[in-house]
Homo-oligomer: A and B are copies of this chain.
Amino acid sequence: MKTKYLIIVVALLALACSLASAYDPSPLQDFCVAVKDLASALFVNGKFFKDPKLALDNDFFFSGLNVLRDTLNPLGSNLIAVNVDNLVGLNNLGISLARVDFAPYGLIPPHIHPCGTRFLIVLEGTLYIGFVTSNGDGNLLFTKMLYPEDVFIFPIGLIHFQLNVGKTNAVTFVGLSSQNPGVITIANAVFGFDPKINLDVLAKAF
């Protein structure tokens, strides 16, 4: 009984604490197409961006995901990201996407997207994927074998990886909850650069 009340109490703190921001931030224009030259830029009422009247259908369009990426590299994987650099209309819309190709046994090594959750849809092939929770949750490992059109979620900020365990190429589509989720590849960040992290640090840590 007491426990139940504890739970309720805690729950209600949530109300007091959560209502404030749920609806507030809001856009100040329909979109902010990135401009690369001033000729197509406009200044209206204190806003400056590509004149919507000059915006083109193609500013919101990208073609080329159908091209197979070259996976002839040590990891046997490659990706094409679709973001504001190649799809200027994405600017400010809080989402981006990618196609990832895997050679047989190709790997996307353990990495983190500090600023975005990622969903993955398998188009072809068989992938072994997983992520690891933080210290607070005991560094648990969640894994799954994925087949065509399966979907998997990698929560924001957690270390995750994908391995093609099939004898054929694998292809996936990815959606990310940020226009620039960022990437930290663990191996590169910890061991990858020169000068290296102090060896005493690495020796004691690993």
Q: Which residues of A contact B (CB under 8 A)?
A: 2-32, 34-38, 41, 43, 45-49, 52-53, 55, 57-58, 60-66, 74-75, 82, 84-85, 87, 89-95, 97, 105, 107, 109-112, 114-117, 119, 121, 128, 130-144, 146-159, 161, 163, 173, 175-193, 195-198, 200-201, 204-206
Contact = CB atoms under 8 A, between A and B. Distances in A.
A130 to B, nearest CB: 7
A112 B136 CA distance: 12
26 contacts: A7-B12, A9-B35, A9-B38, A11-B13, A12-B43, A15-B17, A15-B47, A15-B91, A16-B47, A19-B179, A20-B25, A20-B28, A23-B177, A24-B94, A63-B149, A75-B204, A87-B153, A90-B119, A93-B117, A94-B177, A95-B177, A132-B197, A136-B183, A140-B193, A159-B184, A177-B177
Contact of A18 (B19, B111, B191): B19
A186 B190 contact: yes
A38 B148 contact: no
Given A46-B84, A156-B27, A37 B14 contact: no
Nearest to A184: B134
The quantity of this chain's copies bound in the complex is 6
A57 B145 CA distance: 10
A84 B22 CA distance: 15
Nearest to A142: B57
